[in-house]
Amino acid sequence: MSLLLPCTMSVMGVVVLAPVLPQMLEHFKDMPQADYWVPMILTTPALCVALFSAPAGWLADRFGRRQLLMLSMLLYALCGVAPLVLDNFWPILASRVVVGITEAAVMTLTTTLIGDYFKGHQREKWLALQTAVASVSAVVLFVVGGALGSISWRAPFAVYASSLLLLAGIRFFTWEPEETEDVIQHPEAHKGVAFPWARLGGICAITIFASILFYTVQVDLALALTNRGITEPGTIGWMTAVASLGVPVGTLVFQRAANLPVAALLLIEFAISGVGFTGMALATEHGWLLASVALNQFGCGMMLPTLLTWALRGLAFEIRGRATGLWQGVFSVGQFLSAFVVTALSHQFGDIFSAFLGLGIASGVAAGLALAGIFLSGGRTPASLNGSAATGH
């Protein structure tokens, strides 16, 4: 549990602040290009995760996991609460940069330790649980963010102090893997392990797209609800939280379906996500809108552990930190890009709901490519995530 709870730090950056994004846009409305700059308070940590996850993984492989993890969590807490006392936009954005750098280390190192501690089906289980815990925490944080947002747009930043409690869990309930000492003392003996660039490259490309789909809801649903006349942060928070329950449900279904071929899983997941986006674009009633969001998030809840488990399968200890950092980094590229993609599509085609329709079409294309991959296998059944071949029966 000590390694599962820190994954909530990855969703704090967006989820707890999403209900107050309209308030922040109003507060900084006189700043040039505010509609582009202000959402970066939410998404800049993701850019930093994209840039610094791989270096964090390299440090973990070379010098160990645990001490770096604890230092990162401490800095995360201190910089996370800084906007409570900062007023100028640029110092706030600078504090978010440090939050992103430390978040990169936290997410990379906790996931790497899960890979170190567990093997096979147990690793698959704990990686899926990591996604589930992050998703459930997102539901809670949407409500908390909305409630605190009713006080002021600054108040949700206080939630970052909770990471100090998570730091205590790491301090008392984790340990450095036994292999670390040998790697540190005899680095020359471990340099011959080849890094699987080709395999991870394809997985990472899919991950960027999947991340854009997932974080579109986290970042932009508040604006969509505002366009539908719902402006109270508390209401936005609980409505988003209810819809986001689809993610943990999706992760639970993934655990049942993990023996399917990867291409079949991606076909199902992209199709579900696309139908959800299309429903979000066409819904005229609040109930249908939220049901469509829940369906979209259900698909994403299956998709994320699929990609993470696929990426980490078969990695040697000596490169596990770098590979995990690479995956976390590209996942955060999608998180950072999501705000820009939706804003650009909205400006190009008219409104945010047109952007949702565009993403629904893109998801359908991705599902079609996954289907083509199944046919191009020539009847051969590709390996499932647990490493065994699917029977096809």
Helix (H, G, I), strand (E, B) or coil at 30: coil
Among the listed ranges 1-5, 81-85, 90-94, which one has the minimum average pLDDT value? 1-5
Helix (H, G, I), strand (E, B) or coil at 183: helix
Q: Is residue 234 over pLDDT 80? A: no
Q: Under a CB-based contact definition with an 8 Å cutoff, are residues 167 and 78 in contact?
A: no
Helix (H, G, I), strand (E, B) or coil at 389: strand
Q: Is residue 203 over pLDDT 90? A: yes
The proportion of the chain whose per-residue pLDDT surpasses 90, expressed as a percent, equals: 44
Q: Under a CB-based contact definition with an 8 Å cutoff, are residues 57 and 321 in contact?
A: yes
φ/ψ region of 59 (left if φ > 0, alpha if ψ in -120 to 50, else beta) reads alpha
Rg (Cα) of the chain, in Å, rounded? 20
Alpha helix locations (H) across the chain?
8-11, 21-27, 34-37, 40-63, 66-80, 89-117, 120-149, 163-173, 179-185, 197-227, 233-243, 246-257, 262-282, 286-312, 317-349, 352-376
The distance from CA 201 to its chain's CA centroid, rounded to whole angstroms, is 18
Nearest to 4 by CA among 284, 199, 248: 248
Mean pLDDT of 160-165: 93
Tokens of 230: 């719902």
Nearest to 366 by CA among 296, 272, 297: 272
Q: Which residue has the higher pLDDT, 361 or 185?
A: 361
Among the listed ranges 32-41, 140-149, 379-388, which one has the minimum average pLDDT value? 379-388
Q: Is residue 23 over pLDDT 60? A: yes
Q: Under a CB-based contact definition with an 8 Å cutoff, are residues 335 and 46 in contact?
A: yes
Mean pLDDT of 42-64: 88
User: Residue 19: what pLDDT?
Assistant: 81
φ/ψ region of 33 (left if φ > 0, alpha if ψ in -120 to 50, else beta) reads left
Tokens of 34: 């505010």
Residue 109: CB atoms within 10 A of its CB come to 32
Residue 389 pairs in a beta bridge with: 383
The proportion of the chain whose per-residue pLDDT surpasses 70, expressed as a percent, equals: 93
Phi and psi, residue 314, nearest 5°: 80, 10
Mean pLDDT of 323-343: 87
Among the listed ranges 188-197, 300-309, 325-334, 353-362, which one has the minimum average pLDDT value? 188-197
φ/ψ region of 314 (left if φ > 0, alpha if ψ in -120 to 50, else beta) reads left
pTM: 0.81
Indicate the average pLDDT of the chain. Answer: 86
Among the listed ranges 175-184, 216-225, 329-338, 348-357, which one has the minimum average pLDDT value? 175-184
Q: Is 340 exposed, middle or buried (0-12, 13-18, 19+ CB in 10 A)?
A: middle
Among the listed ranges 67-76, 247-256, 360-369, 370-379, which one has the minimum average pLDDT value? 370-379
Q: Is residue 392 over pLDDT 50? A: no
Q: Which residue has the higher pLDDT, 259 or 152?
A: 152
Tokens of 298: 């259900």
User: Residue 190: what pLDDT?
Assistant: 56
User: Residue 94: what pLDDT?
Assistant: 95
Residue 219 and residue 215: Cα distance in Å, rounded? 6
Q: Under a CB-based contact definition with an 8 Å cutoff, are residues 6 and 73 in contact?
A: yes
DSSP state of 350: S
Taking CA 132 as the corner, what is the angle to CA 130 and CA 135, rounded to the nearest 5 degrees? 110
How far, in Å, are 47, 64, 117, 183, 229 from residue 178 at the CA level?
33, 10, 10, 10, 56
pLDDT in tens, 86-100: 989 999 999 999 999
